[in-house]
């Protein structure tokens, strides 16, 4: 009996000891887009730093914005897209970084050193980035090759009717259409918006659907011949079907960057900084790239990246195509209202 009590007390003490040591190193509540962060990498972070981390997922920037607005300090690090950084800063939802704790900022590639939406990296550092172009199946398109332009996507050949899919989001249709027509993507002029609307309405009968989910499966199975697509999704589809090609249209291609930020009401701020700094180490960010199949912004991560990922021109944009990449622009509410109007007209 006596022995039992002692061992019980001992094990209790041990448990307490473990609990306090974990407490000392702190915890981190991290939220990211679903299926966009390797869970094993978080285990490595826990092993490296002793900080206990949890991973949560959300499905859209709007959801994340609503969660942050609701407050409560549930998350210490989240990953909004470039398009939402300025909005979140304006709404006073983000914390300014303590850059003395982000020593690895020096590892950022030159192209990502000053970004329009947060030039000094006061609130955000890039996680992964990609492009929104389109891909086609050379086995299914007439002639086996398409022009490097948005033209074949917005004005598909009659043979491809019902075999083309567009992403289901106004931004991802309006902006490329604006590139193609040479219109300012942030136009406030209804006449210019009308031009874009006409183009999209003309394209609609050729489309099988508007859908942002399942782009990989549809292209990999050869279900459709052309798909507006993110480059990472293309890379995965291409691995299953060799006849797929990714297009960098000559009129320009949207580059998107997802970023680490710390919400204003985060509870574990020191751990959040530690995590972001840790993620900017080449081998760690490369593990994220290998998992999500998107490129990152850290110098020296190449040698830790999978060869077929790094050598895919869709992922690692060739030097002569770099000028085509167009970063995000935050448009005025008036311009966005015009876009919304076009979308409603398109889908009524």
Partner 1 sequence: MTTPRLIAERRQLGRRLLLSAPAMLTLLVFMLLPLGIMFVVSILQSGDYGGVKWGEYSFEAYRNFFYERDLDDTLVFNTDYLEIFQRSFWLSILTTAGCLLIGFPTALYLALQTERKRNLLLFLVTVPFWTNLLVRAYAWMLLLRNGGLVDEGLQGLGITDTGLGLLYTNNAVIIGLLYTYLPFMVLPIYTSLEKMDWRLVEAAFDLGANRFHALKRIIVPLAMPGIVAGSILVFIPSLGNYIIPELLGGGKTLMIGNLIQLQFGSSHNWPLGAALSFALLSFVLLAMLVYSVRFKPGNAGGHP
* Interface residues toward partner 1, by CB under 8 A: 60, 62, 65, 69, 87, 90-91, 162, 168-171, 190-191, 204, 207-211, 223, 333, 336-337, 340-341, 343-345, 347-348
Q: Give the Cβ contact number of residue 116 at 10 Å.
A: 12
Give the chain's radius of gyration (CA, Å).
23
Smaller CB distance to partner 1: residue 38 or 214? 214
Residue 130: closest CA among 279, 261, 246: 246
Q: Which is nearer to partner 1, 215 or 289 (CB)?
A: 215
231: left (phi over 0), alpha (psi -120 to 50) or beta: alpha
> Which of residues 203 and 301 has its CB atom nearest to partner 1 in the complex?
203
**Nearest approach, Cβ of residue 150 and partner 1 (Å):** 20
Is the CB of 210 or the CB of 260 nearer to partner 1?
Answer: 210
As measured in angstroms, the least distance from the Cβ of 90 to partner 1 is 7
**Element (DSSP H or E) covering residue 307:** helix 307-310
Nearer to partner 1, 4 or 191 (CB): 191
- Residue 308 Cβ vs partner 1, minimum distance, rounded to whole Å: 30
Q: How far apart are CA 45 and CA 48, in angstroms?
A: 5
The b/e string for 13-39 (b: 16+ C-beta within 10 A; e otherwise) is eeeeeeeeeeeeebebbbbbbeebbbe
* Choice between 85 and 257, CB closer to partner 1: 85
Closest to partner 1 by CB, 42 vs 173, is 173
CA dist 215 and 209 (Å) reads: 11
- Give, rounded to a whole angstrom, the gap between the first and last alpha carbons of the chain: 78
Shortest reach from residue 265's CB to partner 1, in Å? 17
Query: Residue 63 CB, nearest distance to partner 1 (Å)?
Result: 9
> Which of 284, 272, 257, 258 lies closest to 96 in space, CA to CA?
272
As given in the structure block, the two tokens for residue 262 are 């710390």
Shortest distance in whole angstroms from residue 230 CB to partner 1:
17
d(CA 84, CA 63): 11
- Shortest distance, CB of residue 169 to partner 1, whole angstroms? 6
């Amino acid at each position: 009996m006596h022995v039992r009590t002692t061992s019980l007390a001992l094990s209790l003490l041990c448990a307490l000891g473990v609990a306090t040591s974990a407490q000392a190193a702190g915890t981190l509540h991290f939220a990211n887009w679903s299926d966009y962060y390797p869970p094993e990498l978080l285990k490595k972070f826990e092993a490296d730093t002793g900080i206990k981390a949890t991973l949560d997922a959300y499905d859209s920037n709007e959801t994340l914005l609503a969660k942050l607005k609701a407050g409560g300090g549930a998350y210490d690090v989240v990953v909004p897209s470039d398009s939402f950084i300025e909005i979140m800063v304006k709404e006073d939802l983000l914390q300014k970084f303590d850059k003395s704790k982000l020593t690895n900022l020096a590892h950022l590639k030159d192209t990502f050193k000053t970004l329009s939406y947060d030039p000094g990296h006061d609130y955000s550092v890039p996680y992964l980035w990609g492009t929104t172009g389109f891909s086609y199946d050379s086995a299914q398109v007439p002639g086996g090759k398409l022009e490097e332009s948005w033209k074949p996507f917005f004005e598909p050949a009659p043979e491809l009717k019902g075999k083309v899919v567009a992403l289901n989001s106004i931004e991802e249709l309006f902006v490329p259409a604006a590139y193609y027509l040479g219109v300012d993507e942030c136009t406030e002029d209804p006449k210019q918006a009308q031009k874009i609307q006409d183009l999209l309405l003309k394209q609609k009968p050729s489309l099988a659907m508007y859908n942002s989910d399942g782009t990989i499966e549809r292209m990999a199975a050869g279900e459709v011949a052309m798909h507006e697509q993110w480059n990472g999704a293309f890379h995965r589809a291409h691995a299953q079907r060799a006849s797929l090609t990714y297009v960098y249209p000559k009129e320009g291609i949207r580059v998107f960057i997802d970023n680490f930020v710390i919400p204003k009401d985060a509870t574990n701020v020191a751990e959040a900084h530690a995590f972001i700094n840790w993620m900017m180490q080449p081998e760690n960010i490369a593990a994220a790239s290998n998992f999500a199949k998107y490129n990152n912004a850290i110098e020296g991560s190449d040698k830790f990246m999978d060869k077929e990922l790094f050598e895919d021109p869709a992922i690692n944009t060739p030097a002569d195509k770099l000028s085509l990449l167009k970063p995000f622009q935050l448009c005025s509410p008036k311009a966005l209202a015009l876009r919304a109007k076009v979308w409603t007209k398109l889908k009524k």
